[in-house]
Amino acid sequence: MVSASGSETPRRESRLRSSPSAYLRSAAEQPIDWHPWGLEPFTLAKRTNRPILLDVGASWCHWCHVMDEGTYADPEVARLLAQGFVAVKVDRDQNPEVDRRYQRQVGALTGEGGWPLTGFLTPDGEVFLGGTYFPPTDGHGRPGFRRVLSEVARLWREEPERIRENTKALRDALERMRAGRSDSDRSRDGFIAGVRADLSSSYDPVHGGFGLAPKFPHPTAVSFLLWDAFAHPSSNSAERARETLFRMADGGLYDQVGGGFHRYSVDESWHIPHFEKMGVDNAALLAAYTEGAQRFDDPRLTEVVRGTLGWVREVLQDPLGGFGASQDADNAPGDDGSYFTWSRAELKEILPPEEARLVTRFFGVGTDGRMPNDPEENVLFRLLPLKEAAEGLNLSGTPEATLERALATMRAERARRPVPSVDRAVYSDINGRFIGALARSGAFLGDAAVVADAKRAADRLLKEAFSPDRGVAHRLDPTGARGYGLLEDQVAVAAGLIELAGVTARADYLAPALRLLEVIDREFRGEDGLLRDLSPALYDGAAIGGMTEPSYPLEDSPHLSANAQAALAFLRTSSLVHDERWRERALALLAPIASRIGGAGIFAAGSALAAGLATVPPATVVVEGSGERARDLLLAARRCWHPNVWVFGGRPPEPFSLPVELETVTPSSEPRALVCFGTVCAPPVTEPSELRALLATGPKVPVA
């Protein structure tokens, strides 16, 4: 290691070695004197009059690994950093509030964003230069980091006025962005119509999904389309939602062997993904595919629900309850998803000839899934219908049985490969999303074990991370809960607990959810009644630089934004406890959201969904009686779709409540389902087959 004077000094023990972050620990062996985020490096920078290098990344990020393994392992880069900078490394999953602010600042200054995020900061925490990935020397069309560091150090020493000009330019740019925000007085209907039009114009009629490459799944947009099809049956929204779900599930975006979804597709056809698997994405997609399986009653969509659950429970589940954050794309330095790809030669080696031919045909081996850097390796995607792929083959059994047998062999073979690492950190926002998704999918499947996993995650968060006055902490470190005061944790956990409470009819999940919603309403309000991403009164992190600025998470990214999720949670709570005050809070929040992001298109889909749900009377189903017929009715009700429905096996206890019209109905010991839409109730239903049509076409009287 090199000191600030340039002399050789013994290397100090890395500050990152004992970090709870797997991403930071992975950098402990680098020849960089990294500091974790906190006051210490900024104090040091002020004392020594040095700029700060801020590196923001994540354990799942491929290009973060490339920069760590190349740029930050370079001795000359290490020397330059030690000579003139204070180096700070941030895990964006551990500190999303830091990432959010510096992504915005670097983006406003350079037009670049993403991970790794590279920022040069003053000791006061203001960005004056930045970018994303930098190789150690000039290459990839980018300047080498050695040259960048030398020039930044020279500017800092010799042209401090340039630094001041850049920080002022950034402040001015951010102020222009704030001043230029849309503040139109957009009606709720106008807002919904605008998002609908934007989704229609960006929809890909060939491959499903939205936009061009790189192509991200947008589960909130799918949910909006499902609502739109319910509210406007003559629209083509249902067809577009269905096509998007099927195309993503048939593509390489979905892991055809191990289940679960990769981050995004590098091509428009969903063939070749970026291979990291994110907890936040899989929770959102699990919920969307559960909705799709309910709405379209298709076994393929149910299969994807089961496959995604299988990956989540096998790979991310924590023995103590809850779920980890992500699985890496790579299994070694320089790798790019080799754990997930297959060669034709490998398939021939491990499978009997006819099975290998079926797999090769069915999964398009040798066609559009070939890896650009190694065409012998293939991402599997469903090229043909299975029966067509099996034509002319001499299979020992049905095509379905043969495929399942081959996949079992492939899973066993893949298990012998080096496995990409899993970030086991338990974050509340991700776990809140999983709690809600597992509760709903477990109820849909009639699988009590899946619901039990949701309960174990909820029980752990409530025991270890929840405080009635402070809300829920962001993460569970070995030393305890840390990171209080972040909005996304509060809304995700509250929303997850509401779904779990509705599925289990347990007040001990509903009560803390209501408490969290009260904390959100009290502690996170900002300008125009919008919700800030952190509460100054509750936040326990370092208030440095941009951290003191208010920030409002309004757009889906592509998962549901915190403000949209809060509005949805208020609406779902109102329909669960039949308290109009929660609906009023949702409407009060949606008005400024619509004004601010009315032109955000697909990134406003979550808020448009909430605005749409506010126009639909919620459905309540109570299944009475006992025995097999009652169980069939309950499962049938939970397998049906409605955009805002609660299904109870019997009458729930307080503080749950039913529509007044149901409260006055005399309970029956005979199996039957009582169904209400708002205050309009249908005659009792005794046949499971009648429930789907009733919920799909029940009274849709607009709500004011």
Nearest to 87 by CA among 170, 4, 147: 4
**Of residues 545 and 542, which shows the higher confidence score?**
542
- Assess contact for 627 and 683: CB atoms under 8 A: no
For residue 75, cis peptide bond before it (omega within 30 degrees of 0): no
Cα 281-189-610 angle, rounded to 5 deg: 30
Q: Rounded mean pLDDT of the chain?
A: 93
Residue 338 has pLDDT above 90, yes or no: yes
Give a three-class secondary structure readout of 226-244. Answer: HHHHHHCCCCCHHHHHHHH
**According to the model, what pLDDT value does residue 11 have?**
44
- Assess contact for 456 and 504: CB atoms under 8 A: no
Model confidence over 614-646: pLDDT tens digits? 999 999 999 999 999 999 999 999 999 999 999
Residue 377 has pLDDT above 90, yes or no: yes
> Where in 442-553 does DSSP place strands (E)?
466-467, 471-472, 475-477, 480-482
DSSP assignment, residue 215? B
Model confidence over 467-513: pLDDT tens digits? 999 999 999 999 999 999 999 999 999 999 999 999 999 999 999 99
Nearest to 355 by CA among 303, 412, 401: 401
Query: CA-CA distance, 702 to 617, in Å (whole number)?
Result: 7
Query: CA-CA distance, 80 to 555, in Å (whole number)?
Result: 39
Structure tokens at 410: 């492939």
Model confidence over 81-130: pLDDT tens digits? 999 999 999 999 999 999 999 999 999 888 889 999 999 999 999 999 99
- Assess contact for 534 and 486: CB atoms under 8 A: yes
Give, in order, the Cα–Cα distances in Å from 368 to each of 275, 337, 343, 363, 380: 16, 16, 13, 10, 9
Give all domains of the chain, ordered by start, each with its CATH number. 22-179 (3.40.30.10), 617-704 (no CATH)
Phi-psi region of 483 (alpha: psi -120 to 50; beta: other; left: phi over 0): left
**According to the model, what pLDDT value does residue 180 have?**
57
Exposure class string for 562-583: b at 16+ Cβ within 10 A, else e = bbbbbbbbbbbbbbbbbeeebb
Residues contacting residue 599 through CB under 8 Å, at least 6 positions apart: 182, 194
Query: Rounded to a whole number, what is the largest CA-CA distance in the chain?
Result: 86
Give the HSE-up count for residue 30: Cα atoms under 13 Å, Cβ half-sphere.
31
Nearest to 593 by CA among 556, 538, 618: 556
Structure tokens at 479: 């030393």
Query: CA-CA distance, 62 to 683, in Å (whole number)?
Result: 57
Threshold 0.75, pTM exceeds: yes
Query: Mean per-residue pLDDT for 137-166?
Result: 92
Query: Mean per-residue pLDDT for 178-185?
Result: 61
